[in-house]
A and B are shown apart, each in its own frame.
Chain A
Amino acid sequence: MIALALPAQDSGSFTPPGIDEMHLPAILPWGAHDGFSKQMLLVILSVVIIATFFILAARKQQLVPGKLQFAGEMAYGFVRNSIAKDIIGGKDFIKYVPLLFSLFFFILVNNIYGAIPVIQLPSFSHVGGAYVLAGIVYFTWIIIGIKKNGLKYFKLATVPSGVPWYILPIVVPIEIISNFLVRPVTHSLRLFATMLAGHLIVMLAGSGIEFLVMQENVLLKGTSVLVLVGAIAMYMLEALIMALQAYVFTLLTAIYIEGALHADSH
């Protein structure tokens, strides 16, 4: 904090990076404002990375796995057993494993980009991708609910059983808002906001270090070390959050699907 406050009197003022810095110039501009951005490239790259890794890991299947196959099976088994099987359960869970598996690794790889030095840009620091994924999940669980319970599903999802009739006028609107309106918003914004904030912090620390190192005062220059230490700690925290958000997003998807499947027992 002191390190950030001091420079103002020495040489020029420090302007922290803002939201606008999140929008890098397009790699391949077209149209007026849009273009082929770094995020797009990274998203496409993530699909290639995930598909290549898991196909390589699963290609030569042996009963006693090699290192690569073992890693692939660990990753697959994590989503399959710890998320799909534990949350959804029953015999049906296997149907939803592909969706959960794709979501988890798609988000994970796109988030981890933010922790890789040269790339250093989590794809979901732009909100569009998060909207798309949350939208896919939103329609998926609503369709599952309708398929399973018919149109009665909306009644099951909004009218909790065992509530006295005179409370229903309050409870039903709350349920409608929380389940059908707020849920997709929080689902997408949670992912987007954590990635944006993480990226901003890393940028802020980076530009702060750069600014301090440029100072002529040696002592002031030295304070950049403090920022660096803080930046490394934040970097570790961000890496954790990147993995955690992928897990949270997938876990919530599994919970929504489970809720839709067993709406009658909730």
Chain B
Amino acid sequence: MNQLIISAATEGEAANPLVPNVWEMGVVLVGFAVLLYIVVKFIVPMFEKTFAERAEAIEGGIAKAEAAQAEASAALEEYKQQLTDARAEANRIREEARAEGAQILADLKAKAAAESARITEQAHAAIESERQAAVVSLRSEVGTLATTLAGRIVGEALTDDQRAARVVDRFLADLETQSAGAAK
């Protein structure tokens, strides 16, 4: 059939472009089959292998980056924790130091107060004894002096001891009531 049409066409009339050349069809069929075989056997596997490797490499890189990120954030967390701990520790030490300082201050204050009380006590005691001594010595001396003075003023010697002692006592009693009144 084809042969008929082709031979008719070649004998003068215009060739029918829709009638194929059988040999050309054969060449295209075989040529395409060979190409398809090469593509299936070699070309596609080679490209697919590279694509797969590349995808794997990229995914591996992503996983690695994610791991690094996780590690970094863990380290950051740790540092933050350490920092918080250190701050708490510092606060605690400061509190302790403050408390200790206050304790020491209070101790010192107490000690100082005790010391001053003791000194005051001693001073009081010393003053008291001095005063006592002064009173004793004054009593005898003032008696003698007053007697002497009064004898001179009166012009007669108060030789009578009994009388003299009475006079002195009365004088001293007056003196004491006077000083007590003044102290009040």
Contact = CB atoms under 8 A, between A and B. Distances in A.
Interface in B80-108: none
Interface stretch (B46-54, B121-129, B144-152, B155-163): B46-54
B132 interface: no
Interface string A24-48: 0000000011111101100110110
Interface string A166-209: 00000000000000000000000100100010000000000000
A94 B48 contact: yes
Interface residues on chain A, size class: 35 or more
Contacts of B134: none
A37 to B, nearest CB: 7
B52 to A, nearest CB: 11
A128 B24 contact: yes
A63 B48 CA distance: 12
Nearest to A46: B31
B44 A44 contact: no
Given A61-B46, A63-B54, A127 B19 contact: yes
Given A63-B54, A128-B24, A19 B46 contact: no
Main SS at interface, chain A: helix
B47 A72 contact: yes
B21 A126 contact: yes
Given A18-B14, A58-B46, A128 B35 contact: no
Interface string A105-134: 110000000000000000100111101110
Nearest to A189: B18
Contacts of B40: 98
A229 interface: no
Contact of B28 (A20, A97, A128): A128
A102 interface: yes
Interface string A65-76: 100010011001
A155 interface: no
Main SS at interface, chain B: helix
Interface in B50-79: 50-51, 53-54, 57
B137 interface: no
A127 B23 contact: no
A40 B7 CA distance: 20
Given A58-B50, A63-B53, A101 B17 contact: no
Nearest to B2: A128
Given A98-B40, A106-B32, A44 B27 contact: yes
> Which residue, of B17, B38, B49, has the highest number of chain A Cβ atoms within 10 A?
B17
Interface string B13-37: 0110111111111011101101110
A102 B49 contact: no
A55 interface: yes
Nearest to A21: B15
B21 A128 contact: yes
B27 A40 contact: yes
Contacts of A20: 14-15
16 contacts: A23-B15, A35-B23, A39-B27, A43-B27, A43-B31, A46-B31, A58-B43, A61-B49, A62-B50, A63-B54, A63-B57, A98-B39, A98-B40, A101-B39, A101-B44, A106-B35
Interface of B: 6-7, 10, 14-15, 17-25, 27-29, 31-32, 34-36, 38-40, 42-44, 46-51, 53-54, 57
Cβ-closest 8 pairs across A and B: A128-B20, A58-B46, A129-B28, A128-B25, A128-B24, A61-B50, A40-B27, A98-B40
Given A58-B47, A192-B17, 14 more contacts: A37-B23, A40-B24, A43-B24, A61-B50, A73-B51, A76-B47, A98-B43, A101-B43, A106-B35, A128-B24, A128-B25, A132-B32, A136-B29, A136-B32
Interface of A: 18-20, 22-23, 32-37, 39-40, 43-44, 46-47, 50-51, 54-55, 58-59, 61-63, 65, 69, 72-73, 76-77, 80, 94, 97-99, 101-102, 105-106, 123, 126-129, 131-133, 136, 189, 192, 196
